[in-house]
Structure 1
Amino acid sequence: MRKIVQVKKKFLFISRWGEALDIANATLQEGNEVKLYVEDKASKEIGYGFVKKVQDWKKHVDWADVLIFDYTGNGAICQELRAQGKLVFGGTEYTDALELDRNFGQEELKRHKINILPFKEFETFKEAIKYVEANPNAYVIKPSGETQELKQLLFVGNDDSGQDVVRVLKAYEKSWGDDFGTFQLQRKVKGVEISVSAFFNGVEFLTPINITFEHKKLFPKELGVSTGEMGSSMFWVKDSPIFDKTLKKMEAILAKNNFFGHIDLNCIVNGHGIYPLEFTSRFGFPQIFIQRAGITEPIGELLYKVASGHKFQLQVKKGFQVGAFVVVPPFPYEDKKTFELFSKDAVVILKKDSLEGIHPMHLKIVNDQWLITGNTGIALLVTGTGLTMKDAQKMMYNRINTVIINNCYYRTDIGDRWFEDSDKLWSWGLL
């Protein structure tokens, strides 16, 4: 294990779509040197004016004390860099497969004696339609590989006969043809959706454990299209029965594969059991930004210590943290014309000088002014913290009211689920 020296360090953030801006900027504000690379062409402007941008991250590897990869798919590169003696916060080929290959992820859970829901993988819609008609039930359609990034394609069926799933599959067949790629049909169960996550230092999970409740639909009360995320509520705990029965059982295999990073396991839980749904073997978005609101030590130092294999306990706030995305058109869809008409270079006005709880997302700075860039329409993530969920919500929405963005929208009920979900979790003995 490397000795941690309390000196300012050089961080190189390698980002897929510019999602790392907030933590890169926070790391810079802590006094470190920071460089940010953004891979996606349409997202190249993200971060300009906040941190130093680079066009080819590989030319800066020798400069960096630690490299931070913010997305899945770079596992082989991370392993190669570690073999060269570099400190890397990121995945491995094994953890990439856990997230990107849903079938592999479910089989690994099963191999480690973790309960899973029945599922079946398909390559064509015709096969899937035939399967549902022969095995009527409620199912969830889950794209695999790169297609799973299009969150609006995930469909949660409500019909116990599966006819709603059949109709959606037929619609996908007409619009996608054979270009959809592989996908899963997973048996749907009712319960509380909850995720457990932790940082991993190459040997073991670090405590406390993070418990997150995601809000994925565009509108309040879980209405509208799936967006991937509109916001989350969370808290930190030393012990979790859900963690012990799921992610904790993966500790040895993660150590064997030399993983240094963050991993999350999303689950459905009810009175009958705990059923893992999917891995996120990287930072969760917006999870990491809301986590940062609850972490009381410098985020750069934390990332450095994880990448160094250091054993330590995270310093976090008591109580709850909540966060909501503030977005503009065409979110959650991709529509270049709409984005350029309504949102490109739109001004983000902050009524107060304090940036506490205001996390820049797809922004740039021009003439000291925050402007929206990229192509997604994600402007800010705003967080709040408190000893109670209501306190945290109040702080977050008060902060949102200090921001002016033309045509913006956000969920007004982030955290509300907790009041009913917590009663269920307590009664099932899972808190």
Structure 2
Amino acid sequence: MNFLVVSKWGESLDIAYTIKQEGHAVKMFIEDKSSREIGYGFVTKVNDWKKHIDWASIIIFDYTGYGKICDELRNAGKLVFGGSEYTDLLELDRNFGQEELKKHKIKTLPSKEFFSFQEAISHVEKNPDAYVVKPCGETQDLKQLLFVGSDDKGTDVIRMLKAYEKSWGDNFGTFQLQRKVKGVEIAVAAFFNGTHFIQPYNISFEHKKFFPKELGVSTGEMGTSMFWSKNSPIFEITLGKFEATLAKKGFVGHIDINCIVNGNGIYPLEFTSRFGYPQIYIQRDGINEPLGTLFYKITSGQHLTIQTKKGFQVGAYMVVPPFPFKDKKSFELFSKDSVILFKKEMKEGVHPIHIKQLHSEWLITGNDGIALLVTGFGITMKDAQRMMQNRINNISINNSYYRTDIGDRWSEDSDKLRAWGLL
């Protein structure tokens, strides 16, 4: 088949490259101009994806913001894997997402949307509590701006809001304050074929902070651990309630909902109505069937059960300076065009992220400093971690760094989840 991959930042290179290796024809377009070197030497790149619509058997969109285009293409009879106008709103407009959760009779945490920092500061002063600051719209792509307060009186949140006001002014856009609760952070995800969710569901645990033991700034993600399950109380109470609505809205793709759970219940935090990163790379290692065939089955509305590995999958990003920050000079000085060396020519479980290929060498490109995602799998979490670490040990990248504790929380989290009846 002919696959056209439309990417916002080049994050879906691994997907495009995998489908190509399975024997399909693949063309890839990257919207962000500064990221367009990504994928050179791996797949055929195009400068205008719209010129290749008729060529494509299936079109894959890898990010939010393309929902209206996806709806139009589906209505025109194309097989499309991606978002919809409705699911774009679920992710990008946090207030809309929370209202939709309430409409579907799903318990939510108290939250409020703000347009000015002074208004938000006054709210915290009048209602002292621990809060999470969540940017909305395009600003939420800057993951470092998400701030999780720890002070029960909200003094740290007030300090952070004042800092944002000083550095961003009116350019920050809208943001949400959500009351913080303690518990286990867990996400449930599923593929959707236009009418139904597809089993099994994916249960994952994100590691968002820069350093081990959840220290440092939020990065979006440094790694994830996961497993597949045909039954999930968390799915039934959250995502499962959206099946009829997603069918009505014509959604065909992948959707994830992140939650905090504790002994008092399940509290959805936010939607990701597209591929999750690095979630999709790790999922790929747990799926025991060709990715291209799977996308065809999903986009053509087939009812199926995905063949997946038993046990656990785990993955960690290998990154280079200036990650998790953006600094063009630092990136060009320390990281751009750095060669990725393999001590043994074994690339199984090694997923190229912001990479190009020249004379069979893998070189770092882009501008964010995310080089690779390295995965492992096993019947136990320890087995999966051991495989991942062995694969990382086979790789040499100048100035690279990564978290060494991805998956460690499972031993404690699993006990809590079992006690609460959620596994």
Q: What TM-score results when the alignment is normalised by the length of structure 2?
A: 1.00
Percent same amino acid at aligned positions? 72
Q: How many residues align?
A: 423
Residue 6 of structure 1 corresponds to none
Secondary structure in structure 1 of the residue aligned to 2:280: helix
Residue 274 of structure 2 corresponds to 282
Residue 167 of structure 1 corresponds to 159
- After TM superposition, give the deviation of residue 354 of structure 1 in Å: 2.3
Write the mapping of 1:339-354 to structure 2, written as runs, cut at 5 A. Answer: 339-354=331-346
- After TM superposition, give the deviation of residue 355 of structure 1 in Å: 1.5
Q: Runs of 4+ in structure 1 displaced over 4 angstroms?
A: none
Select which of 100, 103, 125 maps to 1:133: 125
Quote the Cα distance in structure 2 between the aligned partners of 1:317 and 1:366.
34
Quote the Cα distance in structure 2 between the aligned partners of 1:37 and 1:417.
37
Quote the Cα distance in structure 2 between the aligned partners of 1:106 and 1:280.
13
Residue 154 of structure 1 corresponds to 146
- After TM superposition, give the deviation of residue 330 of structure 1 in Å: 0.3
Q: Which runs of 5+ in 1 are unaligned?
A: 1-8
Are positions 1:114 and 2:106 aligned together?
yes
- After TM superposition, give the deviation of residue 254 of structure 1 in Å: 0.2
Write the mapping of 1:262-341 to structure 2, written as runs, cut at 5 A. Answer: 262-341=254-333
Cα deviation per residue 1:49-83 (whole Å; 9 max; x = unaligned)? Answer: 00000000000010000000000010000011111
Residue 359 of structure 2 corresponds to 367
Secondary structure in structure 2 of the residue aligned to 1:406: coil
Are positions 1:83 and 2:98 aligned together?
no
Secondary structure in structure 1 of the residue aligned to 2:47: coil
**Residue identity in the other structure for 2:117:** F
Secondary structure in structure 1 of the residue aligned to 2:172: coil
Write the mapping of 1:206-217 to structure 2, written as runs, cut at 5 A. Answer: 206-217=198-209
Are positions 1:250 and 2:219 aligned together?
no
Write the mapping of 1:406-417 to structure 2, written as runs, cut at 5 A. Answer: 406-417=398-409
Quote the Cα distance in structure 1 between the aligned partners of 2:344 and 2:283.
23
Q: What CA RMSD, in Å, does the superposition of the two structures yield over aligned residues?
A: 0.5
Quote the Cα distance in structure 2 between the aligned partners of 1:113 and 1:36.
40
Cα deviation per residue 1:216-254 (whole Å; 9 max; x = unaligned)? Answer: 001000011100010000000000000000100011000
Residue 230 of structure 2 corresponds to 238
Quote the Cα distance in structure 1 between the aligned partners of 2:368 and 2:55.
31
Quote the Cα distance in structure 2 between the aligned partners of 1:178 and 1:27.
43
Residue 259 of structure 1 corresponds to 251
Are positions 1:11 and 2:12 aligned together?
no
Cα deviation per residue 1:326-372 (whole Å; 9 max; x = unaligned)? Answer: 00000011100000000000001112222110000000011111000
Quote the Cα distance in structure 1 between the aligned partners of 2:26 and 2:307.
23
Residue 88 of structure 2 corresponds to 96
**Residue identity in the other structure for 1:352:** K
Residue 183 of structure 2 corresponds to 191
Secondary structure in structure 2 of the residue aligned to 1:356: coil
**Residue identity in the other structure for 2:235:** F
Q: What TM-score results when the alignment is normalised by the length of structure 1?
A: 0.98
Cα deviation per residue 1:6-61 (whole Å; 9 max; x = unaligned)? Answer: xxx11000000000100110000001111111110110000000000000000001
Q: Which runs of 5+ in 2 are unaligned?
A: none
Are positions 1:36 and 2:18 aligned together?
no
- After TM superposition, give the deviation of residue 402 of structure 1 in Å: 0.3
Write the mapping of 1:64-83 to structure 2, written as runs, cut at 5 A. Answer: 64-83=56-75
Quote the Cα distance in structure 1 between the aligned partners of 2:292 and 2:342.
25
Quote the Cα distance in structure 1 between the aligned partners of 2:203 and 2:404.
21
**Residue identity in the other structure for 1:380:** L
Secondary structure in structure 2 of the residue aligned to 1:178: helix
Quote the Cα distance in structure 2 between the aligned partners of 1:77 and 1:32.
24
Cα deviation per residue 1:357-412 (whole Å; 9 max; x = unaligned)? Answer: 00000000111110000000000000000000000000000000000000000000
Quote the Cα distance in structure 2 between the aligned partners of 1:151 and 1:87.
32
Which shifted more, 353-362 or 278-287?
353-362
Cα deviation per residue 1:60-118 (whole Å; 9 max; x = unaligned)? Answer: 01000000000001000001111111000001000000000000000000000000000
Secondary structure in structure 2 of the residue aligned to 1:132: helix
- After TM superposition, give the deviation of residue 303 of structure 1 in Å: 1.2
Quote the Cα distance in structure 1 between the aligned partners of 2:403 and 2:230.
30
Quote the Cα distance in structure 2 between the aligned partners of 1:91 and 1:306.
13
Which shifted more, 193-202 or 350-359?
350-359
